[in-house]
Structure 1
């Protein structure tokens, strides 16, 4: 490492994953020509004061180390565009300390970095100080991407985001926010959002307003959104029909909430780019899809653990790329239709714990990629198609238990 100190004109240095330990050598302060520095996936510890003289840095990756101390050492790096502080033990100002064993982390020292576009600080404990995070504390940067996942209980929603209007990718998952409503201003202020992940992030604390509805006009404000994950958020109410305005949406995950009502027909028609739709473990009801259906790009459909009724919709036969279909734990009735065996890319099929009846259609061998099939706990009868195994060498799981089937697949 000491040899590196001689390269004072070095502009890029990547020592990612070299198992380096101990404090950061002070000779780093001599590498003043550096524009890119990656120290990720090592075991560096203590503070980062050696970096405060690297004022030409544009990209800095300190992730997955054991750094601690103040991040105020970075406030002089005014050319920084990308900063990754994830998986360390940083904290901001001395007021952010609760104890030496519970370090709190504040982003306030970064507010002067006017060129900052990408900020990642996952797996730290954010200190959401009301004074530091107030609307009056406007950062000079306009971020394109931010990720603050797995940061524990942070108190109020980080108000510095109120001043952001160019966000495209937001990840605030596995955080406990003590606020009384969804921060709809985040959506209204950033109309070019492409992805938003709020997985397992409670947006309401005790004794707060008991309304966790998804904003009704959310889709209208985010027409360019590509990925939306709001699973495990205790959201209730109906899925807004405005989701149908998000024609660029490719991934929608609202699973593990308390949503009710039906799948909006506007969404089934308007989200023509949708590839992944996960609505599992809610209290949705009604028929799954009507004839007005334009989700032909679906590759994953997970609707298990709801109260859906009606038959398996025939419109799914038009989804040629479908490889995961999970309709288990509902109240679906009718027969298993032969088109299911014609899905050449289908890998996982689960229609267990429903009210399906009748005979299994003859296996034609077209679904040659099927690896998992579960039709348990229904009212199916008749013989088990012998070809179901003999024509499919990839099959690893076949569960037809608790039906009235007979025969052998051997």
Structure 2
């Protein structure tokens, strides 16, 4: 049974000893509200009422059912009411009449779609004369709720963010109270606004306006009338105004201005900010093109920014003119802006309180460090063109760094030993560079706080974490794509919190150490592409692994029959030398999603427990040694999305029960921002900035590393391998039975796999005709039926497969005309060759050869003429042969007579042949 909480804050006026007398009206109101909400709760749960006073949150006195209040209170009045019930779909506002002192009503995040108040209608809120804050964000209110909300004329703060309001801004039907100070309409569907005077512009006391994530294309000109406006957020819209003029016309008292992710184009002059003398936060970017900065005058700005965000600017080396006068910055994000030249170390020199600088995805070519010890905490210059080595004193300059991302550059040399002085470092990403040598001992033994270390795709070498390594906080370690050749070092055992270990694509050889099962926190193990050998490491069974990838190594032998991984999600054993059967115990892992055993020598499957693998979405068994019929128990994998049984020796017919497999019902989790295989650089380290009416900038950092690595699946479709992951994997469904010994007809039930994208039945012994039911596969993008014994016509209904991008029926016994419509006309001749009786485009065979009857006399004359031509040809042939023979004989005789050396050689070769024939 669910327990849901209503939070009630009580404001008590008198304090006495002993028990409290509660206001009867409010007591009855609470009980009535509790009963009402319980009746609406879906699924049925229990409402738990909880209250406290401002002065004392302990005690139990009022004798209200499930309500606690102070034992030293008298005459309590409820002033704050928060109803976060998640599944309530309507609210009877008349129940709030019992709380006349109510100041704050929080009904956010309930998915409510309407306000139901049949008795008092829109006057329900009008009676709450002291209501100051109303939060209805995170519901499903549309414009029909607006007349009710307009009755709350005493409001100071109105939050309608994340609802379904549509149409113009301000919404028709919503009358704002003239005293409104904070208005939040973020994440709705509000569109264009009137250019002239607007309802919003009469709000003389408005201080904060948030219209982010709508579809606004313009704003009213009268915004300049809002002289008290301090916060304006228009990010995530479609504004295409003249940028400089628009910014210049905004209220001069602005302190926070966000114009991120709009449709601005053209140029921008930073001088347009000159009137905004209080500006503290400025954010600007475009979704449709690069913004060109205008050349600036020598005017010194009167404001001092704390936070600056510029994306998609064509800055070049013009950043200096704007920032040179800023000395109070805490956060700088100038990404994707074609910034060139050396890293602007002077920005750090000028702004000693700077905590975050993000200059990723630019064109920087040189790293320069400031000449001071700086308190910087976040440093990101990833995806630039810096060719330097990393300065040896970087750890001395930035001792307080918490996040450092230098990935995707051209850094060379070794990691500086001074990085061991970064005692606060949480995340380090140096992947995709040219770093070489050993990892510094001071770094491995001193960075106690390090949680995420990504050094992939460099040229590092040596032992992986020798015994002196002491990274006790490490949770993620990615060293793939280097030249590490020695085995795992016991220093890894000191990283007791290690969750992910990726040493793929190195030169590590030998067997896994026996002590690996002591890494009790390990969940993700990636070791593909090394030179590891031996039997399947049994010690892995002692770990709670979710991913095992030991593919592309030299492991051999059979898998243990009793192998168990209860919470395993992915098992990747491809490209090894395993033999024998696939243990049935593997399928007992109920969370198992991917099994990849391609390119081994497995020869048997025990599938008694296959039905337990209800979550299995990918099964890849290509290139093994299976010689049996396809087990019908595979059909119990009802949620499978990709099945590859190709390049085996499966025989018999294709099971008709494949129609029971969904090939489309499986849904993968796409909320994955961090992929340890494809690139740690996807991890974003975000700074949490909260902005309130008091202009608070919170410098509490948080890191955005996703705890669940992404699933990546390689699958052959359209005769090439593609890697599918994230959202793409959610919509990729394929069946590959090619290169086997399957016979019989293609089952008509194949048309039930309506979500399938790739179907490959090529290189078998399939007979019969192509079933019309394939035309039901509307999402089919690749169909390969080549190299079989199919006959009959190509069904014309296949032309209705509008998504078909690859089609091959070559080398069959098909006949008749190729349907001349739809996508079938777009495929080349090689898609149809090897079918002697197919005709029509794109082949050169005509389906209706012309046959005109000829007169008998002319026909006889033609035959006599052809017969005469044959006689002449034979005579000419005999004369030619005779001439060649005579010419050759004369030439040979002349050579033998003239040159004695050639004559002797001739007789030396001929004489033994003559003697051998004589003996016979």
Query: What interval of TM-score do these two structures reach, taking the shorter chain for normalisation?
Result: 0.7 to 0.9
CA-to-aligned-CA distance 1:216-236 (integer Å, 9 cap, x gap): 110111111000000111000
Change beyond 3 A, Cα 1:140–1:147: closer
Q: Secondary structure at the match of 2:487?
A: coil
Matched, 1:228 2:404: yes
Change beyond 3 A, Cα 1:51–1:305: closer
TM superposition score normalised by structure 1: 0.85
Query: 8 Å contact 1:299–1:321 — kept in the other structure?
Result: yes
Q: Name which of structure 1's ranges 267-276 and 370-379 shifts more when overlaid on structure 2.
A: 370-379
Whole-Å separation in 2 of the counterparts to 1:102 and 1:12: 29
The aligned residue for residue 152 of structure 1 is 338
Whole-Å separation in 2 of the counterparts to 1:158 and 1:221: 15
Matched, 1:391 2:587: no
Whole-Å separation in 2 of the counterparts to 1:279 and 1:159: 25
Q: Secondary structure at the match of 1:76?
A: coil
The alpha carbon displacement at 1:338 in A equals 4.2
Change beyond 3 A, Cα 1:256–1:150: same
The alpha carbon displacement at 1:150 in A equals 1.1
The alpha carbon displacement at 1:134 in A equals 6.7
The aligned residue for residue 8 of structure 1 is 204
Q: Secondary structure at the match of 1:86?
A: strand
Matched, 1:63 2:283: no
Matched, 1:139 2:296: no
User: In terms of Rg, which structure is larger?
Assistant: 2
Change beyond 3 A, Cα 1:113–1:286: farther
The alpha carbon displacement at 1:88 in A equals 5.7
The aligned residue for residue 384 of structure 2 is 201
Whole-Å separation in 1 of the counterparts to 2:463 and 2:494: 17
RMSD over equivalenced CA pairs, Å: 2.7
The aligned residue for residue 29 of structure 1 is 224
The aligned residue for residue 325 of structure 1 is 501
The aligned residue for residue 313 of structure 2 is 124
CA-to-aligned-CA distance 1:235-292 (integer Å, 9 cap, x gap): 0001000010001001111110000110001000111100111111111111122211
Whole-Å separation in 2 of the counterparts to 1:116 and 1:107: 20
Change beyond 3 A, Cα 1:113–1:145: farther
The aligned residue for residue 39 of structure 1 is 234
Change beyond 3 A, Cα 1:299–1:67: same
Query: 8 Å contact 1:263–1:284 — kept in the other structure?
Result: yes
Whole-Å separation in 2 of the counterparts to 1:159 and 1:275: 27
Q: How does 1:293-312 map to 2 (within 5 A)?
A: 293-312=469-488
Q: Secondary structure at the match of 1:63?
A: strand
The aligned residue for residue 112 of structure 1 is 301
Query: 8 Å contact 1:128–1:157 — kept in the other structure?
Result: no
Change beyond 3 A, Cα 1:364–1:151: closer
The alpha carbon displacement at 1:371 in A equals 3.1
Whole-Å separation in 2 of the counterparts to 1:355 and 1:108: 60
Instruction: Name the structure with the higher helix share.
Output: 2
Query: 8 Å contact 1:377–1:402 — kept in the other structure?
Result: yes
CA-to-aligned-CA distance 1:155-211 (integer Å, 9 cap, x gap): 56557625333221111111012x4x31222xx44610101011111135xxxxxxx
CA-to-aligned-CA distance 1:280-309 (integer Å, 9 cap, x gap): 111111112221121121111110111112
The aligned residue for residue 92 of structure 1 is none
The alpha carbon displacement at 1:84 in A equals 0.9
The aligned residue for residue 730 of structure 2 is none
The aligned residue for residue 208 of structure 1 is none
Q: Name which of structure 1's ranges 148-157 and 258-267 shifts more when overlaid on structure 2.
A: 148-157
The aligned residue for residue 182 of structure 1 is 367
Change beyond 3 A, Cα 1:332–1:240: same
The alpha carbon displacement at 1:46 in A equals 1.6
Q: Secondary structure at the match of 1:380?
A: strand
Matched, 1:378 2:519: no
Matched, 1:163 2:359: no
CA-to-aligned-CA distance 1:110-129 (integer Å, 9 cap, x gap): 96254211101022221423
Q: Secondary structure at the match of 2:493?
A: helix
Mind listing any 5+ residue stretches in structure 2 that lack a counterpart? Answer: 1-169, 171-197, 585-920
Query: 8 Å contact 1:125–1:154 — kept in the other structure?
Result: no
The alpha carbon displacement at 1:363 in A equals 5.0
Q: Secondary structure at the match of 1:37?
A: strand
Change beyond 3 A, Cα 1:223–1:313: same
Matched, 1:249 2:425: yes
Whole-Å separation in 2 of the counterparts to 1:88 and 1:111: 30
Q: Secondary structure at the match of 1:148?
A: strand
Q: Secondary structure at the match of 1:259?
A: strand
Q: Secondary structure at the match of 2:465?
A: coil
The aligned residue for residue 279 of structure 2 is 80
Q: RCO (CA 8 Å, sep 6+): is it higher in 1 or 2?
A: 1
The aligned residue for residue 263 of structure 1 is 439
Query: 8 Å contact 1:128–1:158 — kept in the other structure?
Result: no
Whole-Å separation in 1 of the counterparts to 2:311 and 2:246: 23
Whole-Å separation in 2 of the counterparts to 1:105 and 1:157: 19
Change beyond 3 A, Cα 1:246–1:333: same
Change beyond 3 A, Cα 1:102–1:123: closer
